[in-house]
Each structure stands twice: as C-alpha cells, then as structure tokens.
Amino acid sequence: MSGEVVYGRNPVRELLAADRRRVHDIWATGTALDEPWLAGDRRVRRRQKAEIGRAAGSSAHQGIVAFCDPYPYAREADVLHGVGPVVAVDGVDDPRNLGAIARVVEAAGCAGMIIPGRGGASVTPATVQSSAGAVEHRAVARVESRPGALSAARAVGREVVGSDSDGDDFRRSPLGPSSVLVLGSEGEGLRPRVRRACDRVVAIPMRGRVDSLNVSVAAGVLLFGAPSSAD
C-alpha cells in the first residue's frame, strides 16, 4: 500500500470524521469490525492482527489501520487568521509529545498549531495516534522561520506569549483568545531567538519537588487557565 497510515480505533474514527484526506483502504480484525462507525464502509477489509501490526509498524494499532493521503498541512496565514488561540511549538522532537499537544489544542478550541519545518517533530502516524485523532481536526502549519512566524502573528494583532520556567506567574495575566502560546522543549526551554520574539514570558508555579511538567500538560494548564484548587 502507498501513502501514509493511521492506526488505532480513535485515530481512524477521527480521520474518517474529519474527512480532510482521502482514505484508500481500511484493514480491521474481526473484533474491530464490530465498531458501528465502520458499518457499510466498502473500503474495509478483514485482516489478521499480525498483518495489521506490520502495516501499522506499531503494536498500538487496536486491530485497525487506515491507508490514506499524507497529512494536509495548512498555510501559516490560515492558522493565524483562525478563531481562538494558536500554539507554536519550538524544540519538541518527540512526535508523541506533539500529538499530546495537538489533543490539548483541539480540546481547548484553538485555531491551530505552528510547528517548525525543520528541527522538530512533524505529524507522523505516531503523532496521530497519541493525539487520539485530534490532529485531524485542527490546522497545523509548518514554517521555515519560527521568529518570522511570530512576527507575522504580531502583525495580525496576536500577542505572542512564551512559556518558560523563569517567566511571570501566568495566573496574573492569563492567555487571551488571540494569544499565540509558544512552547519550548522540556529540557532547554525556549531558544534565545524565539524567546526574544515573544511579547512576554509566563511560567506555571511549581509547588512540589519536580520543577517542570510534560510540555503537553503545561499546554493544558496554560490554555485552560486552570489555577490550583488551593488558590
């Protein structure tokens, strides 16, 4: 089979629901064929678990894999002119972390995401799987220059807010509906050039002994503006 694959029950279901890329074939085990959203779909073929695992390249396929067109990246301008906050990712190399961020972006009703064209994770089958298919519903733009994209965001009236451990407490000035949230790597934070392109930098106060959160968890806290129950 040519093209890309999407595996896992939720990812394949959301791939079909979003209807943004052409699906050529779907392979499913006998158990997965019982999913009601597959009923009547003429692209479905019954296959053995081992065959599906080889096609998916992962053991996390849950008995189903879809063969489809490549992921349809959006234009930078389409993301920046969308409704809701935008998340710009800097230094996230793990496609599963990117997928987890995409799940938060979808749940928070963001306009979309901006990711680097080089030097970071892209939307792969593992990204789609770890997002539970959420990445199929949101615009994702790949850009050559992250600082350039942030300048473009400012030019259309968006405030660029970086997230780093030495920033100001985000609860004093939370994100707004037109903010661009810039997330750096868990280890190194924001790169200097990207940080300089931010209007301000915020941090999540840590009360325990661990001094940081997984980047997708941090995205959820900042996007939903969720204060501690102790406050």
| Predicted TM-score of the model (pTM) | 0.91
Each residue's pLDDT tens digit, 198-225: 999 999 998 887 777 889 999 999 998 7
- Proportion of the chain above pLDDT 70, given as a percent: 96
CB 126 within 8 A of CB 109: no
> How many whole angstroms separate alpha carbon 83 and alpha carbon 193?
27
* Structural domains in the chain plus CATH codes: 4-68 (3.30.1330), 76-224 (3.40.1280.10)
Each residue's pLDDT tens digit, 131-148: 999 999 999 999 998 899
Whether pLDDT at 165 is above 90? no
Task: Specify the amino acid at residue 120.
Answer: G
Whether pLDDT at 228 is above 70? no
| Residues sharing a CB contact under 8 Å with residue 62, sequence separation 6 or more, in sequence order | 7, 8, 9, 32
Each residue's pLDDT tens digit, 107-127: 999 999 999 998 889 999 999
